[in-house]
Structure 1
Amino acid sequence: MKSVLITGASRSIGLETAKQLSKKGLFVYLGSRNIEKGNSIVKELYDNGFNNIKAIEIDVTNLDTIVDAKNIVEREQGKLDILINNAGISKGFPESVLTTSIKDIQEVFDTNYFGIIRVTQTFMELLKKSENPRISNITSGLGSLNLHSDPNWKYYNVKLASYVPSKALVNAYTILLAYELKDLPFKVNAIDPGYTATDFNHHSGPGTVESAASFIVKHTLTDENAPTGKFFSNDIEDKSEVSPW
C-alpha cells in the first residue's frame, strides 16, 4: 500500500485530498498542527466509512514536529511514496507592498516557502526509498509572474505583498527540486487547485474543494511518463496543459 503525507490537511482542500486518496487505497497521513483536532477529524472520517487515514502532528514552521513526523512514518512504513506540501497561509486582502510589514511577509514565507523546504528535506530520505516517489507542491496562479504581468488576466488586480511572492518562490523551488532529482524516478510538480471556495478566502472562490482535490490527485498519481518540474493550474481552460510561470 502506497503512503502519502499531506501537510495542512485538517480542513478544506487538504482534507478533501486526504479523503479522495484514501478512497483510492492509499495510506494517508493527515498532517495537522493540532493533533487533537487531527484525531477528531480522523475519527469522524472512520465513522463515515473512510479507512487508512492517520492524523500526524506536523507544523511546517517547527522542525522538531517535522522530524517527529518523519520518525513515525519511518517506523510504520519504512518509506514515503508521496509528499503533498499543502500547508499555507495568507494575510488577506488588500496587502500593499508599500505598507506591509517585514514581520508579516516573513511569517507568510516561513509557512508557504520555508515550510516546504523543511518538510521536503526532512522526508527526502524516506521518499528516496519509494519506487516511484512523488512531490506535489500546492501553489497558486497568483504565483505566476507571467500572469501577473498581463493586464488582461482576470486576477491581475489581486496583488498581495506576502502571498504572491511566497508562491512564486514555491514555483521556483519546484523547478530547482525537479532538476536535482531528474536522474531519479521522482516527479515533482507545482499544482494550483484553482480559486476555490474555502475558509482561506472566506468562501469567495467559484471552485469546489472536490474539484480542487481531484485536480491535485490527477497530477500527483502519475506514471513514469508524466512530466516533472511543471506548473499545472485548475483555473486554465485546458487543464492538461502546463500553465504560464
Structure 2
Amino acid sequence: MQNKPVALVTGANQGIGFQIAKDLLSHGFTVLVGSRDVARGETAATELGTDAHALQLDVTDTASIAGAAARIRSEFGRLDVLINNAAISNTGRDPNMTVMEYVQSTRVSNVRLDEIRAVFETNVIGVVAVTQALLPLLREAPSARIVNVSSSVGSLTLNSDPAYPYRPIFGPVYPASKTALNAMTVAMAAELEGTNIKVNAACPGYTKTNLNNYSGTQTLEEGAREPVRLALIGDDGPHGSFSNSAGPLPW
C-alpha cells in the first residue's frame, strides 16, 4: 500500500472531472483518471502529471468495473476518495437543436424510452455499480469520501416551485436522472451512517463543458470547487448532504 491517499474520478479525461483530478493532485492525492477510452485517459493523465494514472473504466460495463477495482487493489492497495462524475446528457442530440428544442423532444409525452434507459444507465445505475465494486476498498480507508456529482436541475423541491427559472426544462431524461442520483446518494448515506465513509452530492453549477455544448457560464475551476471541497472534508464534515459552492441545496 502506498502512503499517499488515492482518489478515483470517473469521467476524468475532460471537463469538470479533469479539473477535479487536477485539484486533488494539488492536495497531495494520487489520482486515478477514469475514462472509457484508454487513449484519452492516458493523454489526460500525462497532461496532469506523474501522480495521475489512467484507468480504463466504462461505468456501464460490469467487466470494466471489475477490472478497474482489481487493478486499484493490486497496484495501489487503497482507495480514499471516489468521485462519481461520469455522466451523459443525451445519446445524440442534434447539434443544431437549441436547448428548448431538445427539451420539447424529450417531454414525457414523446421521449424515446431508449433515451431514458441509456442516460439512466450511465448517470444512475453506473454510479451504483461503481460504488458497489469499490466499497470494500473504501471501507478499509481511514476516512473515505464518496462524492456524487449531481445537479440542482434534479431538485424536486426547486422544480415544484412554478417560479423556479429552470422548471421549464425539467424532464424525464437528464434532470430526472439527477433526481434519481440524489435518491441513490441518500440511500448510500443511510447505509453508511456511522462508518468511516462520508457520502454527499455536489452540484457544480452551469459549467462550460461538452455536456452542454460549452454553453455554461462558469469556468471549470468554479465547477470543480464543490466536489473537491466535499472530497476533502474532515470527520466533522457533512454526511448525506446536497450542496453547491453557495451552500446547501434542497433535495
Which TM-score band (shorter chain)? over 0.9
Secondary structure of the residue aligned to 1:113 is: helix
Query: Structure 2 length normalisation: TM-score?
Result: 0.91
Between the aligned partners of 1:44 and 1:30, the Cα distance in structure 2 is 11
The letter for the 2-side match of 1:41 is: A
The answer to which structure has the higher helix fraction is: 2
**Aligned position for 2:248:** 242
CA contact (8 A) 1:57 1:69 kept: yes
**Aligned position for 2:174:** 163
Q: Is there any run of 5+ residues in structure 2 with no aligned partner, and where?
A: 94-101
**Aligned position for 2:125:** 114
Q: Decide which of 228, 233, 238 is 1:222's aligned counterpart.
A: 233
RMSD: 1.1
In the alignment, structure 1 residue 186 sits paired with structure 2 residue 197: yes
CA distances 1:31-59 after superposition (whole Å, capped 9, x unpaired): 000111111222233xxxx3310000000
**Aligned position for 2:137:** 126
Between the aligned partners of 2:249 and 2:159, the Cα distance in structure 1 is 13
Between the aligned partners of 1:17 and 1:28, the Cα distance in structure 2 is 10
**Aligned position for 2:57:** 58
Q: Write the mapping of 1:1-245 to structure 2, written as runs, cut at 5 A.
A: 1-45=4-48, 50-91=49-90, 93-94=102-103, 95-234=106-245, 239=246, 241-245=247-251
| Displacement of 1:159 | 1.9
Between the aligned partners of 2:25 and 2:75, the Cα distance in structure 1 is 17
CA contact (8 A) 2:33 2:44 kept: no
> How many residues are paired up?
236
Q: Is there any run of 5+ residues in structure 1 with no aligned partner, and where?
A: none
Secondary structure of the residue aligned to 1:104 is: helix
Structure 1: which 4+ aligned runs deviate by more than 6 Å? none
Secondary structure of the residue aligned to 1:142 is: helix
| Displacement of 1:233 | 2.0
